[in-house]
Amino acid sequence: MSTITNRINIKPAQRLNGIEEYYFSAKLREIAELRAAGADIINLGIGSPDLPPAPEVNEALRAAAEANDAHGYQSYTGLPALRQAWAAWYQRHYGAALDAEGGILPLIGSKEGIMHVAMAYLEPGDIALAPDPGYPTYQAATRLAGAEVRYYALDAQNNWQPDWETLERSDLSKVKLMWLNYPHMPTGAPAGTGVFEQAVAFGLKHNILIINDNPYSFIGTTQPKSILAIPDAQEVALELNSLSKSHNMAGWRIGVLAGKRAHVQTVLRFKSNMDSGQWRPLQTAAIEALALPDSWYETQNAIYATRRKAAGALLESVGCQIAPGQQGLFVWAKVPDNYADGYALSDKLLYEHQVFLTPGGIFGDQGKAFIRISLCADKSVIEKATHRILNITQ
């Protein structure tokens, strides 16, 4: 029997250079280890809805799963009825008319779509504009596609909106794509007056594809917005959307890419080589979810409003400052000056009080002085965390 004396050394692809494990992947592992050691960690950092989907959505899934023909491969572009349901939902809530035949591509979650868009459109030599602060997957997908990331700074003074004048003065000759995200994560800033119009005009002027990531548009507002409702937007813009946040279906992995048929079909060329269609019962349940009445969103928002108030009280108890008018599943706050940054406050709360909040620095340099709390926990849990921080015995 031979003995292997030399260790093999299979190098990872260069495309992984500079790509680190996703922050929450590592942090959740650390929290699990702390819990295994006996710590009662209250995790208020992750945006995974704790509320259930609507009962009729669950029932639609159950009934569809019992059908004998439910378990085979599905179309790469989804059921026609699902695409039509997405189109009707966009028309009803956003006032945007979509091409249900070729301008809608169901996804296994919108995060998948970010990667597909990057791989379909970006290559070495291209530049993609990404917000700072912003969702880290924008930069990761851009770099994995071989392109360069150029950050555009967002700040509180401008209510976290793009500085279009600064962008216009920059060299845009190699910029092919711009990642946009409103309502904005992590700051909760809504799309300000004219932001989508300016983005469309910017893209048309400079031949830049605008990608708006729009999973939070129903949470904390009664007026959801889509860039695709703007005149001429579909010439130059695509939008990602999802049922994860708005319908409490994060683990179901149901998203969509929508826009001009030519753009969507370009992404389909890549996606169809990566996976097959979604399980049919999931698509059937998604159709049911997309038909839910306005009262569904109103009920969810009433719950989140009480949680937002409790989360604000927690943040204020440690001296944080909160800007009004935030939307989405989080509350974003400026940390007090006696902390070096959001990481310092996050670490103090975790290791001294066993409460985890997300440091804003994971979203970019512009977020270092901030911290974020999730609304995906019952009001009583948020209040328990506050009492723990203040050393109040319950």
Q: How far apart are CA 116 and CA 257, in angstroms?
A: 10
Terminal CA-CA length for the chain = 65
Assign 221 a pLDDT band (cuts: 50, 70, 90).
Answer: very high
Q: How far apart are CA 358 and CA 370, in angstroms?
A: 9
For the segment 145-157, the average pLDDT, to the nearest whole number, is 97
pLDDT of 393 strictly over 60: no
Q: Work out the mean pLDDT of the chain and round it to a whole number.
A: 95
Q: How many CB atoms lie within 10 A of CB 153?
A: 15
Would you list the DSSP string of 276-341? Answer: -PPPHHHHHHHHHHHT--HHHHHHHHHHHHHHHHHHHHHHHHTT-EE-SS--SSEEEEEPPTTSSS
pLDDT of 354 strictly over 80: yes
Ranges of each domain in the chain: 20-49+295-389, 68-290
| Segment (H or E) for 104 | strand 104-107
Looking at residue 347, its pLDDT comes to 93
Query: CA quadruple 184, 190, 194, 196: dihedral positive or negative?
Result: positive
Q: Which of 237, 282, 242, 276 is nearest to 117 (CA)?
A: 237
* Model pTM score: 0.94
Q: How many CB atoms lie within 10 A of CB 231?
A: 8
Instruction: Provide CATH code, domain 68-290.
Output: 3.40.640.10
Span 287-304, pLDDT tens digits:
999 999 999 999 999 999
- What is the 3-state composition of the chain as percent helix, strand, coil, each rounded to the nearest 5? 45, 15, 40
The residues facing 256 across adjacent strands are 106, 241
Strands 237-242 and 209-213: parallel
Assign 5 a pLDDT band (cuts: 50, 70, 90).
Answer: low
- Helix, strand or coil for residue 213? strand
- Write the CA distances from 288 to 70, 99, 247, 285, integer angstroms: 16, 20, 11, 5
Q: What percent of the chain has pLDDT over 70?
A: 98
Q: How far apart are CA 168 and CA 203, in angstroms?
A: 11
Assign 8 a pLDDT band (cuts: 50, 70, 90).
Answer: confident
Looking at residue 6, its pLDDT comes to 65
Residue 239, token pair as written in the block: 């939008």
Span 17-74, pLDDT tens digits:
877 777 778 887 988 898 899 999 999 998 999 999 999 999 999 999 999 989 999 9
Q: Please report, as a single letter, which amino acid is at residue 192.
A: G
Q: Which CATH architecture has domain 20-49+295-389?
A: Alpha-Beta Complex (3.90)
Q: How many CB atoms lie within 10 A of CB 336?
A: 12
Q: What percent of the chain has pLDDT over 90?
A: 87
Asked whether 85 and 103 are in contact (CB, 8 A), the reply is: no
